[in-house]
Structure 1
Amino acid sequence: MKLIKLDAIDSTNDFLKALSSQDELDNFTVVTAENQTKGKGQMGAKWESESGKNLIMSALVKDFLYDNEQVFNLSLIVSLSVIEALKSLNIPDLSIKWPNDIMSYNKKIGGILIENTIKSDGRIVSVVGLGLNVNQTNFDELPNASSLAVISGHPFNKELLPALIIEKIQQKIASWESNSAIFWNEYFNTLFRKGIPMPFKSLNSDASGQNFMGIIQGVSSVGKIQILLEDDSVSEFDIKEVQMLY
């Protein structure tokens, strides 16, 4: 694993994407930053992080995805790898809030943003961004967030985390062909609030802002969430169509 450490950057994802377009970077090259001024989350949300306290990293992943229909497989692998790494640190009650937020109890402790580029030869090159709250303790303006330190009651050495997480990702990618069904089952079983009636907010233009009740049943092969509705039908939604309220 090649590691590039930065003090401050606008976005580790943008930095690594630019680097990968100009140079034949090693697979699993990782960029970390102490401070990120324009961190990105899903749907253009801003990722807030206290300088020097948390893990901000992006990793280059290539030679895994070859089809646009398969891109969610990498999201699943990364989510499970982060969960597995945190379990080894004894972080309790871990789950994945669809599609790939990392939760402990009902608090968000991490977020994943994967950006894919299709090369001229059809290969898909991915930049995997991860923000993980490690030693930050002040979440006054983020009531649904927490950190490893708050949950565990002691600080962590965040410098050890990138290698630990990348090792898990490499292992899962290497065994994907023979274990994909097992990994999908693990992902389903780790889903936050799966099988529990809960409110959702529609983001569809024709029903934007409307709330509805539903029960998460699972996730489709392309990453759409499957929700059992009050009329007993099951509908699939992508990240731009529905928001979980909790």
Structure 2
Amino acid sequence: MRLIKLDAIDSTNDFLKALSSQDELENFTTVTAENQTKGKGQVGGVWKSEAGKNLTMSVLVKDFLFNNDDVFNLSIAVSLAVSEVLKMLNIPDICIKWPNDILSYNKKIVGILIENTIKSDGRIVSVVGIGINVNQTDFNELPTASSMSVISGQSFDKEELTVLIVEKLKEKIQLWNTSEKTFWDDYFNFLFKKGIPTAFRDNSNRDFMGIIQGVSPIGKLQVLLENDSIAEFEIKEVKMLY
């Protein structure tokens, strides 16, 4: 894989998107930065990270998505790849909080942001942004966050982690056509709070109870409500209270 290492950048996703628009980059080209000044989260959120301590990376993925209805497949492939690498490194109690935050002991250690661009010939080119709290230990201002180091009591090599994640993502994508159902099942098995009565808040600030039943083929969260109906929610239409 081609690895581009930067000291500082506003956003690795933006850098890789700009680079891919000007050059025919090879698939799985990866950009990392020691310091990211304007990291992005889901739907306009911000990803904050202590400089030099964590892994901030973006990966170019081409020739995988061919239909807008299939874009959540990449989210599954990425979140499974990262989750399996973390388990391999003995990070315990890993789960995926819909759509693709990754938690350990209910603390967020990974954020994922996927940005898709439809080219003039109809191809979908994706930039996968992954932020992992690796060696940071101070989370006083982020009470719901933690890191690999805090949880495991050891430090980790960020470049080695980068290579492991990209190789695992390649493996998932190469196997997708023959293993799609298995990967969806694996994603559901990792899903945080599945089958458990949970408090939610919708984007009208209305609180309600529900039970996560699964995720639709296009990535909507499916929740069983108290009236026995199933509601489906887009990203940012609902917040889990936990």
Q: Same fold (TM over 0.5)?
A: yes
CA shift for structure 1 position 99: 0.1
What CA distance in whole angstroms lies between the structure 2 residues aligned with 1:231 and 1:209? Answer: 19
Q: Which runs of 5+ in 2 are unaligned?
A: none
The Cα of 1:240 is off from its aligned counterpart by 2.8
How far apart are 1:241 and its partner, in Å?
1.1
Number of the residue aligned with 1:21: 21
How far apart, CA to CA, are the structure 2 residues paired with 1:148 and 1:183?
A: 24
Q: Counterpart of 2:209?
A: 213
Deviations, residues 143-196 of structure 1 (Å, cap 9, x unaligned): 000000000011111110111001111111111011000000000010011111
Partner Cα separation in structure 2 for residue 45 and residue 244 of structure 1: 16
Q: C-alpha displacement at 1:43, in angstroms?
A: 1.7
The code of the aligned residue for 1:121 comes to D
Query: Aligned residues: percent identity?
Result: 71
> How far apart, in 2, do the equivalents of 1:118 and 1:136 lie?
36
Distance 1:8 1:19 in 2: 16
Task: Deviation per CA, 1:42-72: give whole Å up to 9, x if none.
Answer: 1211100000000000000000000000000
Take 1:200 and 1:69, find their aligned partners in 2: how far apart are those partners? 26
Q: Which amino acid aligns with 1:92?
A: P
User: Aligned AA for 2:236?
Assistant: K
CA positional deviation for 1:18? 0.2
Question: Residue 245 of structure 1: CA displacement?
Answer: 1.1
Q: TM-score, normalised by structure 2?
A: 0.99
Q: Answer yes or no: is 1:44 the counterpart of 2:44.
A: yes
**Runs of 4+ with >2 A deviation:** none
Q: Which amino acid aligns with 2:48?
A: E
Secondary structure of the structure 2 residue equivalent to 1:102: strand
**Distance in 1 of aligned mates of 2:80 and 2:65:** 17
CA apart distance, 1:105: 1.1
- Check if 1:62 corresponds to 2:62: yes
Structure 1: runs of 5+ lacking an equivalent: none
* Residue matched to 2:230: 234
1:225 to 221, 224, 239: 221
| Residue correspondence of structure 1 range 77-88 to structure 2 within 5 A | 77-88=77-88
Q: Distance in 1 between matches of 2:170 and 2:238?
A: 31
Partner of 1:170: 170
Pairwise CA distance, 1:127: 0.1
